[in-house]
Chains A and B, each alone.
Chain A
Amino acid sequence: MSAHVTELLALAAAGSLGREEARRVEEHVRECAACAAEAAEWRRLAEGLARMPSLRPSRVLVSRTVEAVEERLAERSERAWNRAALGFAVAFAWTMAVVSWLLLDLLTGELALRLDRPVGPTAAWYAAYVIAGWLTAGVAAALLGRRTPEEGRIA
């Protein structure tokens, strides 16, 4: 009779032996009553594990989860839309600032002159005014847009 294969019986029942090991177990069990009995015990245990009772997620849990995910997706979509809207607003505002400066110059009849001479004090003050306004608006937007990680969390 070949050597006992006790150490391999658990994994044999779990179908987790290599081909050579499985063959060894099979051959030994055919001629060893003690190992055959133990192999049968392990097989019953493995079968029991495969049939073990288990809970399924309740309908309440599933619907609560779906709602939470939908809410998270809506937040994500809103954030993306907000980012796009902010980008558009910034580009639009800068365009308007430049255009209004040109229009102002045109209306005051100084555009042609300004094209031929360095930037004067009026234009410098105007530019400083626009930059200061944008910096203030940027800081305000950053403060308002700050979100703590907990704010977006869904219970």
Chain B
Amino acid sequence: MDPDRDDAARLRRGDTAGLAGLMGRHQDRLFRYLLRLVGDEAVAEDTFQQTWLQVAERIARYDRSRPFAPWLFAVARNLALDHLRRRRPESLDERPEPEAPATPDADPFARAVARQQGARLAEAVAGLAPLDREVLSLRFEEDLALPELAERLAVPLPTAKARLYRALTRLRERLLARAPAEEWR
């Protein structure tokens, strides 16, 4: 028996033990996804809380014959995209202006940390457009295969593939623009 479905049934009856089970299994992945999508810790925290509130409110609408995670992430995605549209109504697909590179006289420790490959990569990802960050997070952090990715994004498979390709090439361009190729290789 799927523990998510059991816990969803408990939550539907108003039993908060169901909530604890669902949160325990999904909170880390959900927060990471939201953080990548909205690109701001405070907003990710607010959206995280609103997501679980909506889950509790709308749990009766969850179809128990389907897995819980895609439904949870769809709730979170709608809330996050609503926020992003309010903040930047022009486009979710647009790249923000590149940040100024670190100055040479920045704190040496901070510079040393920033030179770590993972941190630099995360920084470059953070500079991408929300929809680019989202597709990369779903593919590489959530480890979704292309068909699942397309379903999660509610787009046809070729569109999901094109988005993934575009996000990867934009990320590479960004890394190359911010540092010589040999530094991130």
Contacts and interface: CB of A to CB of B under 8 A. Distances in A.
B140 A66 contact: no
A56 to B, nearest CB: 5
Contacts of A48: 117-118, 121
A64 B27 CA distance: 13
A65 B23 contact: yes
A10 B56 CA distance: 40
Interface in B1-52: 14, 16, 19-20, 23, 27-28, 31-32, 35-36, 41, 45, 48-49, 52
B121 A49 contact: yes
Consensus secondary structure, chain A interface:
helix
Consensus secondary structure, chain B interface:
helix
Interface stretch (A70-78, A98-106, A110-118, A129-137): A70-78
Nearest to B49: A65
A45 interface: yes
A16 B185 contact: no
Contact of B164 (A16, A50, A51): A16
Interface string A64-95: 11101110110011000000000000000000
Contact of B168 (A10, A50, A62): A10
Contacts of A16: 139, 145-146, 161, 164
B57 A61 contact: no
B165 A52 contact: no
B165 A10 contact: yes
Contacts of A139: none
A154 interface: yes
Contacts of A154: 53
A43 to B, nearest CB: 11
Given A14-B168, A69-B19, A53 B45 contact: no
Contacts of A13: 168
24 contacts: A10-B165, A10-B168, A10-B169, A11-B161, A11-B165, A13-B168, A14-B139, A16-B164, A44-B185, A45-B184, A48-B121, A49-B136, A52-B121, A52-B125, A54-B32, A54-B36, A55-B41, A61-B45, A65-B52, A65-B53, A66-B23, A68-B53, A73-B14, A76-B57
Closest 6 CB pairs of A and B: A49-B140, A57-B31, A10-B168, A54-B32, A69-B56, A50-B140
Interface of A: 10-11, 13-16, 41-42, 44-46, 48-58, 61-62, 64-66, 68-70, 72-73, 76-77, 154
